Chains A and B, each alone.
Chain A
């Protein structure tokens, strides 16, 4: 064969192989959402773990954490904390640009954080995570100093959270808060392209991306050219789309399907145990029968959490015991000694509290039945399990499967006996959100202390822990906080949150973001 022919054949082969490689660079992901649609893609405003699923790929943080919680330089090359814990100085990278071409610098950081605490922005998540923020100073173009009102122990962890990603101030000015939420501009490995309401969000790779954190395999722009997120709320449809090959990656895959994929190998799976608050039940101490601590404790003793979790999750989730998950720093092992499954104990407590078993299996006292109203927003099957166990010792639990709007209504009106919640967080500091008395909801004021428990002692512990100076003090204070919560029987963990993901076996590089819920797509590539 002469040389010219060889060159022609070689080029053709190369051309075709490149084509196939290029075809593989479009990644389709399906995700779910509890509400009718995503509300915003603005990290400063978001309160939804589903919105963050998309946001995490378009933005970067000052400090970048891998999914084990280890911190690496992100947009900041290095940082120092003042000895009084009130000032955090970040030395920023000077080679970063936003998707709109503008420079990332200290002014952008200041603008981002200032806007988060501005009530006009309407931040729900970021404002709590940022903590007792006072101001930021632009020391020079690439040095920013963040100032706090008081010592805030969770600050460094906070700066790794998606909600504190840095946004483009230029875009904020030109688009306004609402517009920015619909077409966000960040510094991340993917750029926003389009949003088809209730259907999908499309992103393209950021060709200038050169600042991937160390724990990533790649550097430079992502190998994924086009990233599409399709919204499919129905679980079986989501799984069907994955199995038929219409999408490459699916989140929130049911445990039975995960089990099937694992045994057949037709799809790869990863499951992440999420840090933060496990799936747990709040008991309302301000009204109804749960005002009596004996009744609360009896309720907890009646639940067989280990069996419930195994039965519903087929090994993909574990029972949980404390207000924060065991994966969260400052977790107190003593949580695990509380409220083991003990029907006799539960019944004894109820008898002591004056609740006598009625003829139909429901307890009565002074002509009233022991009825509990349980609006259930998350995991109806778990709620039914809880209902079943409590029923055996004489509780009449009325479950109503609700959407967020109805639950919000009930929260404002204090019209519930118990609620369930779960929360993704990297730091025990999250406990102040559901347990401080200033976070008790009121009409017009939506906060998360749904057990409405309020004592100066717990408030003080939470505030002190937030500004603890040493790790030991912090651990000790959070231990006391957890002990109080468990002693008072106001909050019981049921099972760890788990994110179940299945994906195309030809792919690798799918990794969890910090917290083990969202997925970072930057590293994804064909095997």
Chain B
């Protein structure tokens, strides 16, 4: 209980400090937000004062900071300069494709990565091991935008097997591979090394000497413990999925939060950039918390021991 509680306590200030960093960085950007809000439209001084007031820019920095934190907690972060819609609406509208992509990438990454890791780890130094590790190395070395374009070129343009546009599950296949390949590589390597460590443990040797089949050994006895390090990888990899979202949505021309963030940065739509980073940071921190909890649940040693940092 102590472990979980401690983790939770740390998360909240981390979140608020991160949000503070966002506020500071985005509010020191040169350029007049009023101009940006008006989209460069000509306007009388009165109209400009109105806009300035509506944006809350006539209040002192401290007050704006506090309202920012309050609004971020409430989930209301103003209106986009460009579309004049509430940014929360824009995030909601674009959330689902990104979540689909992330889950797709996660599923591919986990299954393919663990599979490769098991092939490699169950028979170290065999051809299977070398092959699987070469694939894993390729996975972490391939730029995701290149592999995405290659996939489009081969399977979409040339062979025509997969539609290039459209929503739905089929259109999710290529992007998921694109996003998940890097993740798969990391998973594969870690699963392999962790499996090798576990398979060298005494209790495994006992099972072997009792004549248990190799298959049973791996999947009944070894896996649970072997999966512990890869699970910790999940937390960090969520960051990669966000990265992947920005690039993959661009390559596959899919709608989503990544594409929205890129457009917002290029368009200097500060409220939207702010809202997206606030949201993504919160999700990232939260997901890491969940992973830490899971880690604590499946490996009792962690939550009972004092952590050496």
* A–B proximity contact (CB within 8 A): yes
Residue ranges of A at the interface with B (Cβ–Cβ < 8 Å): 35-37, 39, 119-120, 122, 124, 178, 196-199, 232-234, 236-237, 240-241, 244, 246, 403-406, 408-409, 411-412, 443-447
A36 adjacent to B47 (CB under 8 Å):
no
> B84 interface residue, CB < 8 Å from A?
yes
Inside 8 A of B84's CB, which chain A residues have their CB? 39, 178
Inside 8 A of A232's CB, which chain B residues have their CB? 165, 253
A403 adjacent to B31 (CB under 8 Å):
no
Q: Which of A36, A122, A196, A244 is within 8 Å of B263, CB to CB?
A: A36
B163 adjacent to A244 (CB under 8 Å):
yes
A505 and B90 CA atoms in complex are apart in Å by: 37
Q: Which of A241, A409, A412, A445 is within 8 Å of B165, CB to CB?
A: A241
A198 adjacent to B41 (CB under 8 Å):
no
What residue of chain B has the Cβ atom nearest to residue A408's Cβ? B40
Q: Digit string of B59-86 for contact with A (CB within 8 Å is 1, else 0)?
A: 0000000000000000000000011110
Chain B proximity of A459: nearest CB distance (Å): 19
What residue of chain B has the Cβ atom nearest to residue A122's Cβ? B41
Given the known inter-chain contacts A39-B83, A240-B165, please indicate yes or no for A405 contacting B266, CB distance below 8 A.
yes
Given the known inter-chain contacts A197-B85, A232-B253, please indicate yes or no for A36 contacting B264, CB distance below 8 A.
yes
Given the known inter-chain contacts A39-B84, A412-B35, please indicate yes or no for A197 contacting B93, CB distance below 8 A.
yes
Inside 8 A of B166's CB, which chain A residues have their CB? 246
From 258 to 308 in chain B, residues with beta carbon under 8 angstroms from any chain A beta carbon are 260, 263-264, 266-269
Q: Which 5 A-B pairs have the closest CB atoms?
A: A234-B253, A446-B40, A240-B164, A237-B253, A405-B268
Contact size range, B: 35 or more
B264 adjacent to A244 (CB under 8 Å):
no
Q: Which of A119, A197, A234 is within 8 Å of B90, CB to CB?
A: A197
Inside 8 A of A120's CB, which chain B residues have their CB? 47
**SS of A interface (majority):** loop
A408 adjacent to B266 (CB under 8 Å):
no
> B94 interface residue, CB < 8 Å from A?
yes
A119 adjacent to B44 (CB under 8 Å):
yes
Number of A-B pairs, beta carbon distance below 8 Å:
93
Chain A proximity of B250: nearest CB distance (Å): 8
> B169 interface residue, CB < 8 Å from A?
no
Interface-centre pick from B42, B90, B165 (highest chain A CB count, 10 A)? B165
Q: Which of B43, B164, B268 is within 8 Å of A237, CB to CB?
A: B164
Given the known inter-chain contacts A178-B84, A198-B255, A403-B267, please indicate yes or no for A237 contacting B44, CB distance below 8 A.
no
Inside 8 A of A237's CB, which chain B residues have their CB? 164-165, 253
Chain A proximity of B33: nearest CB distance (Å): 11
What residue of chain B has the Cβ atom nearest to residue A405's Cβ? B268
Q: Which of A403, A412, A444 is within 8 Å of B266, CB to CB?
A: A403
What residue of chain A has the Cβ atom nearest to residue B48's Cβ? A444
B268 adjacent to A39 (CB under 8 Å):
no
Q: Which of B36, B38, B156, B267 is within 8 Å of A35, CB to CB?
A: B267
Q: Which of B42, B47, B82, B163 is within 8 Å of A445, CB to CB?
A: B42
Given the known inter-chain contacts A37-B83, A198-B94, please indicate yes or no for A446 contacting B32, CB distance below 8 A.
no
Q: Digit string of B134-159 for contact with A (CB within 8 Å is 1, else 0)?
A: 00000000000000000000001000
Chain B proximity of A240: nearest CB distance (Å): 4
- In addition to A405-B36, A405-B266, 10 A-B residue pairs with Cβ atoms within 8 Å of each other are A36-B263, A124-B42, A196-B93, A197-B90, A197-B93, A236-B164, A246-B166, A404-B40, A405-B269, A447-B42
A178 and B90 CA atoms in complex are apart in Å by: 17
> B56 interface residue, CB < 8 Å from A?
no
**SS of B interface (majority):** loop
B82 adjacent to A36 (CB under 8 Å):
yes
Can you list 22 A-B pairs, Cβ within 8 angstroms, ordered by A? A35-B267, A36-B263, A36-B267, A120-B47, A122-B43, A197-B85, A197-B90, A198-B83, A198-B255, A232-B253, A233-B253, A236-B253, A237-B164, A237-B165, A237-B253, A240-B164, A240-B165, A244-B165, A405-B266, A405-B269, A408-B36, A411-B40
Q: Which of B36, B47, B93 is within 8 Å of A119, CB to CB?
A: B47
B260 adjacent to A36 (CB under 8 Å):
yes
A408 and B36 CA atoms in complex are apart in Å by: 9
A246 adjacent to B267 (CB under 8 Å):
no
What residue of chain A has the Cβ atom nearest to residue B252's Cβ? A237
A444 and B41 CA atoms in complex are apart in Å by: 8
A39 adjacent to B35 (CB under 8 Å):
no
A444 and B32 CA atoms in complex are apart in Å by: 9
Q: Which of A124, A246, A406, A444 is within 8 Å of B35, CB to CB?
A: A444
B43 adjacent to A244 (CB under 8 Å):
no
Inside 8 A of A445's CB, which chain B residues have their CB? 42
Inside 8 A of B253's CB, which chain A residues have their CB? 232-234, 236-237
B255 adjacent to A39 (CB under 8 Å):
no
What residue of chain B has the Cβ atom nearest to residue A412's Cβ? B35
Chain B proximity of A50: nearest CB distance (Å): 14
Chain B proximity of A434: nearest CB distance (Å): 15
From 190 to 227 in chain B, residues with beta carbon under 8 angstroms from any chain A beta carbon are none
What residue of chain A has the Cβ atom nearest to residue B34's Cβ? A444
A443 and B34 CA atoms in complex are apart in Å by: 11
What residue of chain B has the Cβ atom nearest to residue A30's Cβ? B165
Inside 8 A of A124's CB, which chain B residues have their CB? 41-42
Inside 8 A of A409's CB, which chain B residues have their CB? 31, 35, 268
What residue of chain A has the Cβ atom nearest to residue B47's Cβ? A119
Inside 8 A of A246's CB, which chain B residues have their CB? 165-166
B93 adjacent to A443 (CB under 8 Å):
no
Inside 8 A of B41's CB, which chain A residues have their CB? 122, 124, 446
Chain A proximity of B141: nearest CB distance (Å): 26
Given the known inter-chain contacts A443-B32, A447-B42, please indicate yes or no for A406 contacting B268, CB distance below 8 A.
yes
Chain A proximity of B120: nearest CB distance (Å): 38
Q: Which of A39, A199, A444 is within 8 Å of B82, CB to CB?
A: A39
What residue of chain B has the Cβ atom nearest to residue A231's Cβ? B255
A301 and B164 CA atoms in complex are apart in Å by: 44
A240 and B164 CA atoms in complex are apart in Å by: 7
Inside 8 A of B156's CB, which chain A residues have their CB? 240
